[in-house]
Structure formats: C-alpha cells, structure tokens
C-alpha cells in the first residue's frame, strides 16, 4: 500500500516542481519589488515631511495589523469591483509586494534612525546634498542594522507566499493540497511539502544568523 502511494507520489513529481517554481517565482518577484518600494518608503518616512511620513506610518500599521489572508481576499475580491481586472497571480504579487514593502519600510526606518545625528550634521557641514547624505553617509551605516532583519524578512515572505494558495494559485502548498486528495497520506505529502520550503528557507535563516553575528561583532557587542 505504501508502495502504491509512493508510486502515485512519484507521478506527481512534475506538479510538485511546478508548485515549487510558482513559490520561488512569487517570492522572488515580490522580494525584489518589495525591497525597492520598502527602501523608498523608509527613506520618505524619515524625510521630515510630516504628512508623508504620517500617511506611510498609517498604511504600514494597517498592513501590520491585519492578517495576510484578509489582505489577499481584499485585493483579489475588491479590486475587480473597482474596475481593476486582475488574475490570481497578479493579486498574489500585489499582496506580497505590499506586505514586504511595509515590513521592510519599518526595518529601513530603524536602520536610518540608528545612525548618529552627528554623522548627518557632519555631512551637512561638508556641503553634501540631501541625496549624497543619504547615499554616501546614512545608508551605508544603516545597512549594518538593516541587513540581518532584511534577510529574516525574506524568509517570512517565502513562507507567507503559501497563503496565496487560498485564492487558487498552484504553489507548493496548493500542490500538497491537491495531491492529498488523491494520495490519502497527509503526513507524507505535507512532510515533503515542508522539505521543499525548508530547502529554500533554511539557507536564508543561516545567512540571517551569520549576518547578525558579524554585524553584532562589528558593533563591538559581546556575543554570548
């Protein structure tokens, strides 16, 4: 019986690969877009314009305060009512990008605020422009604080991409769900799904840990 199941599972191998491909694709696109937008929002938020930073703060809070599943449903079911035609893949990308951008914005803000004001004043005194100060003085120093949680955020993003299976995208989790309807061995099927995610996420977790140690050491903090 277990043999039959294994054979049947082996038959689902192309489907599993497609699912993994979808998961990687979703994560990668929203990771790149989310990072760009997140950095933009973070820089704008610390920019000193009260209105802009207030608006960004409120939006970030809205996104951080609601479950991702609800956000996906809102985007997927309500945007069409507003006249925006979109398929599940686009909806998933929009939802994931927005989520990533909001969390990365917070990380970037924390990084920028960690740079001593004296540095900015020195850059001002040296006659650097606003952009130069950001690009050459603040961001390079902020990256120490930003990098470890940023990589951690990527792990969260990959895991959150599993939630888009709820609107019918055939990602790795959805493949598990489909396969388990035919091969009634949930332990085995979702163990394998877990292995798929583990292979993608675990190297990133290790990287985040390493970065944390290195960046911490660079700050002269004592490692325990």
Partner 1 sequence: MLENFSFRTIVEYLPLFGQGLVTTVWLSVLAFAGALAVGIVLAAMNLQRGWLFRIPAKAYIDAVRATPLLAQLYFLYFGLPRLGIILPELVVGILALSLNSGAYVAEIIRAGILSIPRGQVEAGVASGMTYVQRMRFVILPQAFKVTIPPLLGQAIVLVKDSALLSLIAVAELTRAGQLLASDRFMPAEGFITIAAFYLLLYYGLKGLAALSGRWLGLAGVRT
**Sites of contact with partner 1 (CB under 8 A):** 62, 64-71, 73-74, 77-78, 81-82, 110, 155, 158-163, 165-166, 172-173, 176-177, 180, 184-187, 189-191, 193-194, 197-198, 201-202, 205, 224
What are the tokens at 155? 């792990």
| Identity of the residue, 9 or 201, whose beta carbon is nearer to partner 1 in the bound complex | 201
- For partner 1, the closer of residues 143 and 206 by Cβ is 206
The span from the CA of 152 to the CA of 119, in Å, is: 28
Considering the complex, state which of residue 137 and residue 189 has its C-beta at the smaller distance from partner 1: 189
Q: How far is the CB of 77 from partner 1 (least distance, A)?
A: 3
b (16+ CB within 10 A) / e for 148-172: bbbbbbbbbbbebbbbbbbbebbbb
Q: Does residue 38 contact residue 100 with C-beta atoms inside 8 Å?
A: yes
Nearer to partner 1, 51 or 224 (CB): 224
Spatial separation of the C-alpha atoms in residues 52 and 49, rounded to whole Å? 6
Cβ closest to partner 1, residue 18 vs residue 159:
159
Shortest distance (Å) from residue 125 CB to partner 1: 28
Distance of CA 87 to the CA centre of its chain: 21
Q: Give the residue with the Cβ less far from partner 1, 66 or 119.
A: 66
| Measured distance CA(45)–CA(110) in Å, rounded | 11
> Closest distance between partner 1 and the C-beta of residue 145, in Å?
13
**Distance between CA 92 and CA 107 in Å, rounded?**
23
If DSSP states are collapsed to H, E and C, what string results for 12-54?
A: CHHHHHHHHHHHHHHHHHHHHHHHHHHHHHHHHHCCCCHHHHH
- Minimum Å distance from CB 5 to partner 1? 11
Quote the least distance from Cβ 75 to partner 1, whole Å: 10
Q: Provide the sign of the torsion angle of the four alpha carbons 160, 163, 167, 171, taken in this order.
A: positive
Compute the least distance from the CB of residue 124 to partner 1, in Å: 25
């Amino acid at each position: 019986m277990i043999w039959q199941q294994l054979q049947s599972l082996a038959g689902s191998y192309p489907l599993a690969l497609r699912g993994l491909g979808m998961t990687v694709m979703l994560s990668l696109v929203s990771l790149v877009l989310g990072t760009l937008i997140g950095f933009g929002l973070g820089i704008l938020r610390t920019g000193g314009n009260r209105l802009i930073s207030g608006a960004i703060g409120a939006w970030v809070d809205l996104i951080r305060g609601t479950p991702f599943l609800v956000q996906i449903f809102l985007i997927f079911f309500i945007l069409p009512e507003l006249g925006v035609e979109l398929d599940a893949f686009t909806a998933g990308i929009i939802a994931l990008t927005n989520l990533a951008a909001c969390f990365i914005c917070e990380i970037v803000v924390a990084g920028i605020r960690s740079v001593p004001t004296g540095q900015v004043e020195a850059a001002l005194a040296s006659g650097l422009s606003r952009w130069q100060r950001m690009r050459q003085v603040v961001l390079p120093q902020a990256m120490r604080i930003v990098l470890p949680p940023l990589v951690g955020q990527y792990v969260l993003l990959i895991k959150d991409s599993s939630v888009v299976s709820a609107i019918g995208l055939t990602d790795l989790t959805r493949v598990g769900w489909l396969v388990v309807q035919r091969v009634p061995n949930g332990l085995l099927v979702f163990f394998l799904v877990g292995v798929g995610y583990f292979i993608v996420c675990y190297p990133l977790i290790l990287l985040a840990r390493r970065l944390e140690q290195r960046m911490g050491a660079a700050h002269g903090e004592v490692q325990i």
